Chain A
C-alpha cells in the first residue's frame, strides 16, 4: 500500500470516523477549513470515510436502497453523464461537479445529505472532496484489500515507524519504564499474571544487556502463555461450553477446544496451520496428532464451528439453520478476515465490496458441513484397534484354510435348490423376502410409493458416509457370528459397527436427501445406539416435536424403526445411525451428551422412505438360485474379502447343513476381547464432518422462504479472491476456503492477526476496530507499520511468539506511562504511542492475579471445566444442580466453565464479552458492580484471608517487612516510605480496635486480611502501567 509520509488522526465529532491529516497537528475545528489540507488527498484515507458515512447508504454498493440511480463508490458511475445532464464528479473540475454543488447548496431541498438526516458535511470535508476532485478524483480499492508492501527505502523496525510519526508531530517519547514496571507489564501481557517474586528479582538484579530478552523468553516459554492467549482467542470465537437458549445444554467436549488452543499457542503453531485446522481440521489427509495422546489434534479446532447458540425446539428448522450459519459466517469472517460479511445476508454490503452472492457462496459451504459427535482415539487405543483388526483378518484366513481342508476338494458344486426357508440369512430374521431384490435393486417403486434411501444388504455402504472406527472405511459386513465359541454363521446383509467389536464408537450417515414422503423406515439392530433424522442440520433433538425423529436402538434382532417426518416435508435431511445414545432422564443440561458403553453397537439392513403403508418387499429368492459357484470358491472369495452376498449365503447354507464345520474360534474371540479391554474410555467432541456439497441460492432480502433462482457456487469472497475460479463442485469447500484465507496473496489475514496481537500488547490496534477492516472500521494509525508487521509475520513462518517477541522488545513497548504535557496536548489519545498506555487489567487477569498473589493459584493445566459458582442471583431454566466452588478450585479463569445462561457475574462486571459474536476488543467500562465486587464479594474477601494466612507465617519479617513483601507480591514494586507509614498506621489502629498487642498483631489473620483486602482494592493493583 503506497502512502505518503506519516499521518495523524483526527476524529470527526459525532460520527466516530477517522480522517488522517498529515504531519503537524491541526485542530479538527480549524476555523479555516483549508488549513492543513493534505497536499495530496488520498481516496482511502481522506475521501472514503466521508462518502461512507454520508453518502453510501443511498449512493453506495447496495442497489436495494440506491437513490436517483447514482453510485458514488465507483469512479465509472460517479463520473458518468447523468440523465438529467451534468456529472456528479468531473475529475479535475470541482466547480463543475454536481456533488460539490449539492453538498454546498443553500436550499435545504437541494442540499445533500437530505435534511431529514440532520447531517451536513463540514467545511473541511467539503474542502477535502473539492481538492481530491481537482487532483483528478483518483479512486482506489479499499486500503485493506491492497496487498501489504514494504515502504521503499524504509528500515524495518517497529520503533522506526513509530518514532517517525512522533518526530513528525514534534512529540518527545517518554523515557524507558522502570525495570519493575516493565517486568509487571511484560508478565501480564504475555501470561496474564503478575511476575513471580523470583522472576521479578532475577530480572531487576540482572544487569546484563540480555536481561530483558531473557525475561521475555522465560515468559514466552511459560505454560501460562498459552492460557493467556487462548482466552484472547476465545473472545473471537464466542467460546462457551453450553448452548444457551432455553435449557443451556452442555456442548459435548467443548473444553477440549480450549485445551487445543492452549497447546497450539504454547507450541507456537504457525498461524496459517491454525487457520486451516479451524476451518477444515477434519479434512486433512495428515492431521496433527496430540503430542502425548496421539489422537487427532487438528479436528478439535473445528469445534469452534459448533460453539454457537443452539435453539431448543425450533418450529422452523430452516430459519434456525439460517441463523446458525449466519453466526458462523459472522464469526468466521470477522475473526479471520476482519470483515463483517454477515451484513450481506439481506442485501449487498452497504459499505464494503461484499455482495449478497458472496454471503450465499459461504452459506453453501457451511450448509455442506455436518455437526458430528467425534470420538478422539489415542494412538494407544488405535493400536489396540489395529490388533483387533489383524486378529479378525487372521481369523478369516485360518478359518478359510480349515474349511478348505475339510472340503478336501470332494464336495460338489454349490447346493442349489435348497429350501428357501433354510436360506434365511443369519441374523436377518425379519424377512427372507428382503433378500430377493438383491442384484437388481430398484430404488423407487411407483406402485407402492416408496423409495430406498440406503440398502446395505448387498455388502456396501450404498453411498452412505462412515465415520469413526466403528464403521470401517469400507463396509465389512461378512464377519463371523459365533455361538458358544463356535462359528455359527457369517453376518450378512447389513452394515455394522461391530465388525471389529462392540463398543467401538462410530456413525453411518446417509447422503442428504429431501423429505418428500410421510415416513421413514430404518431396519436396524443394536444396543445402546441411536438413529436420528437430522433435518436442516438440526442437532438438539428433544421433545415435544422432535422425538419423532430420534429412536434408541435397543434390540439385537433387526427391528423396523419408523419415523413420521410429515412436519418437515420439503426439508433436507440425512439419516444418522450412531453408536451411543442420549439419556433423557438426567439433568436437563446434559441430555445432549452422548453415552456409550462397552457393548454398544448398531447395524442396519436398509432404510427407505414411503407414503401411506409400509411397502411389502415381495418376491422370491431367485437371485440365490443363480449362483453356480462352488462352496470352495465362496470360501476363497470370503477370505479374499470380496464375497458377494449370494456367496456368503452359500457359506451360511453350508454351515447350516454341516457341510462346513462350525469351528471353534473361542481362543481368537478371547484375544479380541482382551484387546478391547485395553481400549477403555473414548472421549467425544462436537466437531464437524463433510456432508454432501450443497450450494445455496440467495435468500431474497434474507428471507429463507424467498429463494433466488440460481444456486451460488462455493467460492471465497470476491473482493479478496477476485478472478479465482469457484471451488470444486464435489468437495465440501471448507478446505479450499481455508487455503484462500492463508494464501499469501490474501491482503487481510496477516494484517488482521498482527493487528490483534498489537491490540493486546499496546491496548489498541493499529486499526482500532480490530474486527472490522472495512469502510466502517477505523483507518490504521500507522499503515506502513501494519504492512511491515504483516509481511514480517508471514516471513517468520506465521510465528505468533516471534511477532510478540519483536513487539515487546521494541522501545515503544518499553516506554514508561509518563506523558509530557506537550504530548498530552498534541496527542491526547496517545495514538502515536509516545508513552505506554495505562490500562485496566481485564476480568481474567484480575481474578488470576488475586489467586496468584494469595498463593491459592493451582497451576494444573487442561481438563474438564471447573463448574460455575452459582450465586443466588443466578437463576433460570437450565441452572446446574450444584454450584461450583467459590474460588474455582484455585484454577485459572480459562479453566472455569462458561455456561451461556450462567455467566460469572464477576467476569460480566469486568467486561468479558457475552459469547455471541466476535469481540476482538473488549469494552472497558466503569460500573459500580466492579467496585462492589472488589469491596464486598466473598471471593475477593476469601482470597484476602488466604493471603493473610500465609503472611502471618512470615515470622522473620516485622510489620514493615511484611508490608514490603505484600507490595512486591501484589504490585511488583518496593513499598515507598509513605506506603509503609500508611500501612503501619492502619494496622495499628485496627489492632487497637481489636485489642491486639504488638505480638498478637503479627499473628492475627483478620487484621492482615483487612490489610491485604485493601491492597487488592488499590487502583495500582487493578491497572497496568
Chain B
C-alpha cells in the first residue's frame, strides 16, 4: 500500500483509518521532518495517524493563571484542621513567586460527591461536578516552572521558553485537518490572551501553515475574513481578472509548483470567506441549546464563554482538529488569585462552569464526545498556604486537571497529592505525559511525531512523556 493509497483511504473517513490500524501498517504520520519546507502543497490534508485513533478533535479549555487544586478537585480536610498554622512547621516550603508566605489556609468552599463515581468536587464547579462520571481527574500534575509565562509555554509547547511549536501546531502537523475550508488549529480568544502572548499558539519552527488562527467574537471573527468589496460580484470580478493573469503566467512559465499552490490557496481563502460566517452564525441553534451553555445567564462572562463553548462544538462538527479556548476577561486577574481568593475564584468559576458542563452534555447528546477529547487545565496550581492573608501563590508541585471524552475512562481519579495538596506524591504526572496521552488518543505515537530542526528530530514531548494508561478506556 502506498502512502497515496493510505491517504485516500484516510479521506474516506474514520473507518479507513481504523482499518489501517487493524492491518498493523507501519507507523506513518509525519516523522523526521519529511515535510519539504518549500512548496508544501496541502500541508493540512489529512494525514494517516500512527495507530487507531480514539479522538478526532481536541478541545483544550485553558484555565489561565492557575486554578487552586485544593479549592476545586483535590479536597484536603487537613487544611481545615490546621488552618492558621505556620506551614514551615509542617513541611519544606519552596521559594515562591511573591515570597510572601502566610499561614495554612482552608478552602473557603465545601466539597460534595457527584454521580455514581462519587468524585468530590468543590462548590466552585457545581455544573462540572454534575458531569463527574465523564471526567478523569488527574490530581498529581506537576509543572516545571513557577512563573506564568514559562509555565504557559511549557503547557502549550512542551518547552518552557519562547518560540516553540504549540501542541495545536504539532497536532495539525501530524494529522492535518478534515476541513479544508477552515483552519485546522483554532484559538477562540475569550478575552484573555495568556502570559507569553500569542507565541503560546504559534508554529515555532514548524511551517506557518500550522500556526493557530485566532477567532474573536464580533463581526469579524477571523482577521481579514470579511471581503473588502461591497458585493460578492465585485470580488468575483476581481478574482476572475486575477485568475486570467495567473493562467497566462503559468502558460508562459510552464509548470511551477509553487505558483500553482499559491493559486490554489487563493481559492481556499475565497471559500473561507463564506465558511467562517456560516460557522459563527448561531441562528440554527435552538434556545434550549443556548440555555444549556448558559447563554441566557445574567453574568455577561458566562454568556460570552458559553458562546465560545458552543462555537467550539460547531468547530468540532466541521472537523477542525484542535481548538483552544482562552478565558473570559472577568473583573479579576485570571485565575491568579494572589489575594482575594474567594471572590476571584468565584467570579472565574461562574463564568466557565455552566458553559463547560453545557459543552460536555451537548457533545455527548450529539455523539461527538466519543470522538472529541476535552482537556481542562491551567499552567500550575496554587499553594495550600496563604499568600498574605487571603490569596494563594503559584505552585508547580501539584495541580489538578481533567480530561473527558474520546478514549477517557470517566469517573476516574488518578494520582494523589500529600495531605496538604502541596506536592504530588502518587503517580506524578507531567505535562509531557499529558501531551503523550493526547497524541496517543489522536492516534499518534509521541515518540514518532518529530520535526527536524537545528539538526535534531524534535518532539512535542522532548525526550520524555508516558501515556497515562490508567485514565484510558
In the complex, the answer to whether A875 meets B99 with C-beta atoms within 8 Å is no
Please report the C-alpha to C-alpha distance between residue A315 and residue B26 in the assembled complex, in whole angstroms.
Answer: 45
Interface size class of A (residues with CB under 8 A): 35 or more
Check if A245 is an interface residue, CB within 8 A of chain B: yes
B98, B195, B245 — which one has the most chain A CB atoms within 10 A of its CB?
A: B245
Check if A63 is an interface residue, CB within 8 A of chain B: no
Please report the C-alpha to C-alpha distance between residue A11 and residue B402 in the assembled complex, in whole angstroms.
Answer: 44
- Give, as a whole number of angstroms, the nearest-CB distance from A1014 to chain B: 5
- Contact of A544 with B211 at beta-carbon distance under 8 Å, contacts A244-B197, A924-B258, A932-B225 already known: no
The stretch of A21-29, A439-447, A448-456, A974-982 in contact with B is A974-982
The stretch of A198-206, A465-473, A934-942 in contact with B is A934-942
Check if A1010 is an interface residue, CB within 8 A of chain B: yes
In the complex, the answer to whether B198 meets A309 with C-beta atoms within 8 Å is no
Contact with A along B127-158 (1 / 0, CB 8 A): 00000000000000000001111100000000
In the complex, the answer to whether B189 meets A245 with C-beta atoms within 8 Å is no
Please report the C-alpha to C-alpha distance between residue A245 and residue B151 in the assembled complex, in whole angstroms.
Answer: 11
Q: B-side binding surface: helix, strand, loop or mixed?
A: loop
- Give, as a whole number of angstroms, the nearest-CB distance from B385 to chain A: 16
- Give, as a whole number of angstroms, the nearest-CB distance from A142 to chain B: 12
Q: List chain A residues, Cβ under 8 A from B164.
A: 916
Please report the C-alpha to C-alpha distance between residue A877 and residue B148 in the assembled complex, in whole angstroms.
Answer: 12
Among B225, B234, B259, contact of A936 (Cβ-Cβ < 8 Å): B225
B33, B37, B161, B205 — which one has the most chain A CB atoms within 10 A of its CB?
A: B161
Check if A730 is an interface residue, CB within 8 A of chain B: no
**Cβ-closest chain B residue relative to A1011:** B241
Please report the C-alpha to C-alpha distance between residue A1020 and residue B242 in the assembled complex, in whole angstroms.
Answer: 10
In the complex, the answer to whether A927 meets B226 with C-beta atoms within 8 Å is no
Among A340, A908, A924, contact of B38 (Cβ-Cβ < 8 Å): A924
In the complex, the answer to whether A876 meets B198 with C-beta atoms within 8 Å is yes
- Contact of A927 with B209 at beta-carbon distance under 8 Å, contacts A544-B97, A544-B100, A941-B228 already known: yes
In the complex, the answer to whether A1019 meets B149 with C-beta atoms within 8 Å is no
**Cβ-closest chain A residue relative to B256:** A838
Check if A84 is an interface residue, CB within 8 A of chain B: no
Among B26, B197, B209, contact of A118 (Cβ-Cβ < 8 Å): B26
Please report the C-alpha to C-alpha distance between residue A931 and residue B228 in the assembled complex, in whole angstroms.
Answer: 13
Check if A1008 is an interface residue, CB within 8 A of chain B: no
In the complex, the answer to whether A914 meets B199 with C-beta atoms within 8 Å is yes
Contact with B along A932-969 (1 / 0, CB 8 A): 11011100010000000000000000000000000000
In the complex, the answer to whether A772 meets B40 with C-beta atoms within 8 Å is no
- Give, as a whole number of angstroms, the nearest-CB distance from A189 to chain B: 17
Check if A915 is an interface residue, CB within 8 A of chain B: yes
In the complex, the answer to whether A928 meets B183 with C-beta atoms within 8 Å is yes
In the complex, the answer to whether B452 meets A351 with C-beta atoms within 8 Å is no
- Give, as a whole number of angstroms, the nearest-CB distance from B378 to chain A: 16
- Kindly identify, within residues 14 to 49 of chain B, every residue whose CB is under 8 Å from any CB belonging to chain A: 26-27, 31-34, 37-41, 43
In the complex, the answer to whether B265 meets A931 with C-beta atoms within 8 Å is yes
In the complex, the answer to whether B454 meets A16 with C-beta atoms within 8 Å is no
**Cβ-closest chain B residue relative to A989:** B237
The stretch of B112-120, B247-255, B343-351 in contact with A is B247-255
Check if B244 is an interface residue, CB within 8 A of chain A: yes
In the complex, the answer to whether B197 meets A901 with C-beta atoms within 8 Å is yes
Q: List chain B residues, Cβ under 8 A from A902.
A: 197-198
Please report the C-alpha to C-alpha distance between residue A937 and residue B269 in the assembled complex, in whole angstroms.
Answer: 13
Check if B428 is an interface residue, CB within 8 A of chain A: no
Q: List chain A residues, Cβ under 8 A from B147.
A: 246, 311-315
In the complex, the answer to whether A315 meets B146 with C-beta atoms within 8 Å is yes
In the complex, the answer to whether A1014 meets B31 with C-beta atoms within 8 Å is no
In the complex, the answer to whether A14 meets B34 with C-beta atoms within 8 Å is yes
- Contact of A819 with B254 at beta-carbon distance under 8 Å, contacts A309-B161, A544-B97, A873-B189 already known: yes
- Give, as a whole number of angstroms, the nearest-CB distance from A531 to chain B: 20
Please report the C-alpha to C-alpha distance between residue A1010 and residue B162 in the assembled complex, in whole angstroms.
Answer: 41
Please report the C-alpha to C-alpha distance between residue A876 and residue B249 in the assembled complex, in whole angstroms.
Answer: 43
In the complex, the answer to whether B253 meets A1025 with C-beta atoms within 8 Å is yes
Among B40, B95, B248, B272, contact of A925 (Cβ-Cβ < 8 Å): B40
Q: List chain A residues, Cβ under 8 A from B31.
A: 14
Check if B283 is an interface residue, CB within 8 A of chain A: no
**Cβ-closest chain A residue relative to B95:** A315
Q: List chain A residues, Cβ under 8 A from B456.
A: 340, 343, 776
- Contact of A876 with B37 at beta-carbon distance under 8 Å, contacts A982-B241, A990-B234, A1013-B238 already known: no
- Contact of A931 with B266 at beta-carbon distance under 8 Å, contacts A876-B193, A923-B207, A926-B261 already known: yes
**Cβ-closest chain B residue relative to A567:** B99
In the complex, the answer to whether B100 meets A873 with C-beta atoms within 8 Å is no
Among B37, B248, B266, contact of A923 (Cβ-Cβ < 8 Å): B37
- Kindly identify, within residues 162 to 195 of chain B, every residue whose CB is under 8 Å from any CB belonging to chain A: 162-164, 183, 189, 193-195
- Give, as a whole number of angstroms, the nearest-CB distance from A498 to chain B: 36
Among A567, A877, A937, A986, contact of B241 (Cβ-Cβ < 8 Å): A986
Please report the C-alpha to C-alpha distance between residue A1014 and residue B242 in the assembled complex, in whole angstroms.
Answer: 6
Check if B227 is an interface residue, CB within 8 A of chain A: yes
* Besides A316-B95, A878-B197, 14 other A-B contacts (C-beta < 8 A): A246-B196, A311-B150, A340-B456, A544-B98, A876-B197, A901-B196, A914-B199, A925-B207, A925-B209, A931-B262, A932-B222, A935-B266, A1014-B241, A1018-B249
A-B contact pairs, 9 of them (CB 8 A): A323-B160, A340-B456, A771-B454, A931-B268, A932-B223, A932-B269, A935-B235, A982-B241, A1014-B238
Those 4 A-B pairs whose CB atoms lie nearest each other, nearest first: A916-B163, A901-B197, A876-B193, A931-B269
